[in-house]
Amino acid sequence: MSPEAALDMFRQALTTALLIASPMLGVGLILGLVISVLQAITQVQEMTLTFVPKMVGIVVALVVALPWILRVMLGWTTELFQSLGSLA
């Protein structure tokens, strides 16, 4: 396997991992921002107020995005296995 092929495979893996994680990261970011603004307005500094809604939101985003995530992972894995013959 050439270094260019290995580097390309690594780049595709990182891109796919970032693409798969983006729905949960986006929901966590948006909920964190909304909760921080709410805490600043009300001056309520409770740690569970930030933790619980973000965890619920991330789990909901994962459940909603799971079919899409599985399609992306299956497509990448299929492409990887098909290209293994030419890389060996």
> Given pLDDT bands bounded at 50, 70 and 90, which one contains residue 85?
confident
Q: Is 0.95 surpassed by the pTM of this model?
A: no
Contact 49, 79 (CB under 8 A): no
The predicted pLDDT at position 83 comes to 85
CA geometry: angle 38, 43, 49, nearest 5 deg = 55
The predicted pLDDT at position 44 comes to 81
The single-letter code of the amino acid at 31 is L
* Digit-coded pLDDT (tens) for 17-76: 999 999 999 999 999 999 989 888 988 887 778 888 899 999 999 999 999 999 999 999
